[in-house]
Structure 1
Amino acid sequence: MNPFELLSTFSTVIYIVFGIFILSMLGLFFIVKQQTAVIVERFGKFQGVRTAGFQLKIPVVDRIAGKLSLKIQQLDVVVETKTQDDVFVKLKVSVQYVVIKEKVYDAFYKLDNPYAQITSYVFDVVRAEVPKLRLDDVFEKKDDIAIAVKGELQEAMNDYGYDIIKTLVTDIDPDDQVKHAMNRINASEREKVAAQYEGDAQRILIVEKAKAEAESKRLQGRGIADQRREIAKGLLESVDVLNGVGISSQEASALIVVTQHYDTLQSIGEHTNSKLILLPNSPTAASEMLNTMVASFSAANQIGEEMKKVNPPRANKGNQES
């Protein structure tokens, strides 16, 4: 390419760029972004709606009257009202809405301030529904409040070209004093439940301990009974053995008692810190004890024989009378 052709091409590009700049300055064309609707008026009268892309208009004759976003938008409304139990509470209601693409004309020309319109309806519905409910019910039925707000808004705003996507009660904020009182009530209830559980646990421990002690006493009593039974058997066998070598029952019993006496002394002597003293504890104590017990047993036998002679058994007395 020779210099003249290069210069000619460069000049053409310059003219095109300059022409585009002049046309843009005159307002011949404009660009519409995605999810945006542009309202074009001609001599002050609605001419049309332009959507995303490269658009043309007649300079001076046509003008861009406004733009509307076709994206989902959210409006947060805080409403203060009173519940049925006279508690002031603030509710934050989030309204998600969108301009209906087919009703851009209505959304732009029928409603001057959609935010104020939506806010008014939210206030009206919330202040009509919440006073019917107690504070606890407001927390439990917040979804019902949101549904009521959406139903009212949907019916009203649809005529203005707006579609209500969702309404949410995102926050319920009672007065600070009420919140502190509710926290104290909940804490008291939890302490009450904890005390009940602790009382039940203590009662179970006492019952089980009593059952264990009763079982221990029963087993201990059985052991003592078995022990005494075995001691009696051992004494009986010892008496029989001593009788076999010519020792009388009284002497055998006395001998066994003396033997147990010495066993007791031996057991006491095994403990160095024992403070138990048996009286009498002289060297002749065992001999005197043996003589005393033999004499006692003999006297007891003689008294028993005399009583039998004076008062014979009833069975024998009945046989003599017959």
Structure 2
Amino acid sequence: MPTSSASPSEGTEAMNTLGDVGEFGLIKRVTADREQPPTTLLGPGDDSAVVAAPDGRVVACTDVLVEGVHFRLDWSAPDQVGRKAAAANLADIAAMGAVPTALLVGLACPRDTPVETLEGLAAGLWAEAASAGAGVVGGDVASGPAIVLSVTALGSLQGRVPVTRAGAQPGDVVALCGRIGWAAAGLDVLHRGFRSPGAVVNAHRVPEPPYAAGPQAAQAGATSMIDVSDGLLADLAHVAEASGVTIEVSTAALVVPPRLAEVASALGVDPLGWLLTGGEDHALVATFPPGAVPEDWTVIGGAAAGDAVVLVDGAVRDGAAGWDHFAT
């Protein structure tokens, strides 16, 4: 949230909207008495925050969530939206092989937004940041026609070389850590007007990225890595293009969980589509030299010399590979 420390006006009447409490009243509410990790040297309350960067480098990324596009408050509680916004960025830090250290949050919303909603968003942001060992160190608030959350995450490589999308080599294996397909299944359920099963719907509301697996992969010698935000095939295509290799995925290695199989049967869809093209689970997928895959990672394919394409069981899969905001 914003870094200014001005105090809200003191009042005795109930203040229920952002217009009632004002910008600085909101800031005080969402930053007071929050714990910070040791990497936060100076948190909210000044012109800028100060975050430790022991090896002289900072990994940084930004993501934007827009009400009506990335979330709906009739589908998700405010704290779930906050957690989702944080997770989308923290997973990107982990995908570089780094450890998250801090979040900066930009918020735009109508002045009649209930303060309870904004406190919920903030609670989710703080909770997800803490789960990854990071703090919320500053940001900004502005008025706008809808709720928009812009989150910037910072991270530390702890002396390691960053793992980019560009290092995959022919002969590497492709491995996955974390769940895929669950968020897409949950979104399909919500679009059909249902709110259960809860485990599937909640996967859309709050992803569960394997944050620790990013640094683990880097230490194990991962040659490339990316988080699955837009879909497994879409994100592996970025690796294929950046590395100049063919990525091959074996569907035999992708196990459809029984719960997803049940939901797919009820909806009349092929669950494999969720696994291959569903986004927002923020699992990590990486390439490794043979024999270097860490525990808890599952080999799902390999990299080979050839055109920068992704093959599924030896062929290019028809249809969209994942989410594209500007696709027609």
Tell me the TM-score range normalised by the shorter chain: under 0.3
Higher relative contact order (CA 8 A, sep 6+): 2
Q: Which structure has the larger Rg over C-alpha atoms?
A: 1
TM-score by length of 1: 0.17
TM-score by length of 2: 0.17
